[in-house]
């Protein structure tokens, strides 16, 4: 097959490239040595994100994985446990970091689309398990939920969870890599989400379009401790203001536009459901992620990804029968139309079925 004339890359919202204006902001950033706490652009970003989320302090980290792992480290000692749903990024996609670096044990519950049902973690957690079992110290909730398909966690469910975990002495960490998407999709204030958690990690490098960067927010004491662990893990950066400036630019210019990604994802899902309703329920597409159940149409996910790639649409297999497509800053209406046409052709032409 010849190379497709147009390639739309929907594998992830991490694929965005900094815009020209963002690059200018980076070039103009005032910088200092952030390990000494002397980078004014980093300091301002940390303060700004903490304010947005209603927390006392923030810490800039090179990745969402590190920001999450710092959060875990703060709340759970070696030999104790974190619990999260079975598709959570912290358990499934951070390479066992909690176990490798922090000696943290984990258990999980199965959540349809990653949607939080507070009864599930509450049934699983065992805060004071005594001398024979592992004690639960932390619940992690992912909002929006990546492998769940961009699922938004309803605020009232987080409130309900928090009401039960806090008196039990179990901390709550929100993996808010895409909390911006939840905020834009629902209109819920970022601080309202933030208040339900002891610590929150947010990413600037997903749909917001910054090349690098996440922020962990929490109490002043927690962030001071996380600063030590960040350095210990090798995540202390020097003139990081160049990166923080990209993050600040993204926060000031790219949050509200996430609604465009959500609308395009929904348009794609609507079109797919019209072609084959077993592929996706478009009413469940709340944000920028679409998961297609290609197994229902007889495809192996890996074959589907390869065939779609031949037609110029790149996507990611999330399981044996499911594929994920993610909308972001570098995907416009014309790209979305191309994806609709190419994937429609793929699922309707029997000759292409394996
Ligand atoms: C929900 C979630 N949390 C954390 C991360 C980790 O971010 P990073 O790739 O910056 O380590 C990701 C990455 O895609 C994610 O989707």
The confidence score (pLDDT) of residue 324 equals: 98
What gap in Å lies between CA 12 and CA 148, rounded to an integer?
Answer: 14
DSSP 8-state assignment for residue 282: G
pLDDT at 52 over 70: yes
- Residue among 12, 62, 64, 316 whose CB has most ligand 1 atoms within 8 A, to mutate: 64
The confidence score (pLDDT) of residue 353 equals: 56
Atom 16 in ligand 1: residue holding the nearest Cα: 146
Could you tell me the distance, in angstroms and rounded to a whole number, from the CA of residue 64 to the centre of ligand 1?
5
Q: In ligand 1, which atom is closest to the CA atom of 62?
A: 10
β partners of residue 216: 59, 201
- Residue among 63, 69, 89, 211 whose CB has most ligand 1 atoms within 8 A, to mutate: 89
- What mean pLDDT, rounded, does the chain reach? 96
Q: Please tell me whether the peptide bond between 144 and the residue prior to it is cis, using omega within 30 degrees of 0.
A: yes
What gap in Å lies between CA 106 and CA 40, rounded to an integer?
Answer: 38
What gap in Å lies between CA 198 and CA 305, rounded to an integer?
Answer: 39
CA-atom Rg of the chain in angstroms: 21
The confidence score (pLDDT) of residue 3 equals: 82
Q: Is 237 left (phi over 0), alpha (psi -120 to 50) or beta?
A: beta
64-93 pLDDT tens trace? 999 999 999 999 999 999 999 999 999 999
Q: Is 2 helix (H, G, I), strand (E, B) or coil?
A: coil
pLDDT at 1 over 80: no
């Amino acid at each position: 097959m010849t190379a497709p004339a147009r390639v739309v890359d929907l594998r992830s919202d991490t694929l965005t490239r900094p815009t020209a204006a963002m690059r200018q902001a980076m070039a103009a950033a005032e910088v200092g040595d952030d390990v000494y706490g002397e980078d004014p652009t980093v300091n301002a970003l940390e303060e700004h994100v903490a304010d947005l989320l209603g927390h006392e302090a923030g810490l800039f980290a090179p990745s969402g994985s590190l920001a999450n792992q710092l959060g875990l480290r703060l709340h759970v000692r070696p030999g104790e446990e974190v619990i999260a749903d079975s598709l959570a990024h912290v358990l499934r996609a951070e390479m066992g970091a909690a176990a490798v670096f922090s000696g943290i044990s984990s258990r999980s519950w199965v959540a349809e689309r990653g949607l939080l049902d507070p009864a599930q973690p509450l049934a699983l957690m065992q805060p004071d398990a005594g001398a024979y079992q592992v004690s639960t110290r932390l619940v992690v909730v992912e909002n929006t939920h990546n492998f769940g398909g961009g699922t938004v966690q309803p605020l009232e469910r987080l409130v309900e969870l928090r009401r039960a975990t806090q008196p039990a002495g179990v901390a709550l960490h929100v993996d808010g890599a895409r909390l911006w998407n939840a905020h834009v999709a629902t209109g819920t204030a970022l601080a309202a989400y933030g208040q339900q958690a002891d610590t929150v990690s947010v990413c600037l490098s997903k749909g917001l379009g910054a090349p690098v960067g996440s922020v962990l927010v929490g109490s002043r004491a927690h962030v001071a401790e996380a600063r030590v662990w960040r350095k210990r893990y090798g995540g202390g950066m020097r003139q990081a203001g160049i990166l923080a400036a990209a993050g600040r630019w993204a926060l000031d210019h790219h949050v509200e536009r996430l609604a465009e990604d959500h609308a395009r994802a929904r348009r794609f899902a609507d079109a797919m459901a019209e072609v084959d309703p077993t592929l996706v329920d478009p009413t469940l597409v709340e944000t920028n992620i679409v998961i297609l159940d290609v197994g229902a149409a007889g495809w192996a996910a890996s074959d589907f990804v390869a065939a779609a790639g031949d037609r110029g649409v790149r996507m990611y297999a999330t399981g044996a029968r499911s594929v994920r497509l993610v909308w972001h800053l570098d995907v416009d209406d014309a790209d979305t139309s191309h994806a609709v046409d190419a994937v429609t052709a793929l699922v309707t032409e029997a000759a292409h079925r394996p």
